[in-house]
Amino acid sequence: MAYVITEACIGTKNTACITACPVDCIYDGGDHYLINPSECIDCSMCMPECPVEAIYPGDEIPEELESYATKAAEFDYSNIAPGVGIN
């Protein structure tokens, strides 16, 4: 169960979650950040750091926001580095 960054991140993109992530699995997806589900270790350290409460455990995503889990799962992470300002 990976964590998922949802709609509330759009327009905010606060980097506190990136700083808190011990495995660098958060990527800049353009309009908002994405957590790579294959790299996430389910530590939950990012969740309390998000000032807009955009991060959910994968099994607790509200139904209307489930498309963000799909987007994170289907995103091509191969051409970018995790974090911000280095891509």
Helix (H) or strand (E) holding 60, with range, is: none
pLDDT tens-digit map of 12-57: 999 999 999 999 999 999 999 999 999 999 999 999 999 999 999 9
pLDDT of residue 85: 57
Which of the listed CATH numbers 3.90.870.30, 3.40.50.720, 3.30.70.20, 3.30.1660.40 matches domain 3-74?
3.30.70.20
| Domain definitions of the chain by residue range | 3-74
Beta strands in 1-87 (DSSP E): 3-5, 26-28, 33-35, 55-57
pLDDT of residue 13: 92
pLDDT at 87 over 50: no
pLDDT of residue 1: 76
CA distances from 37 to 11, 12, 18 (A): 22, 21, 15
Nearest Cα to 69, choosing from 79, 61, 78? 61
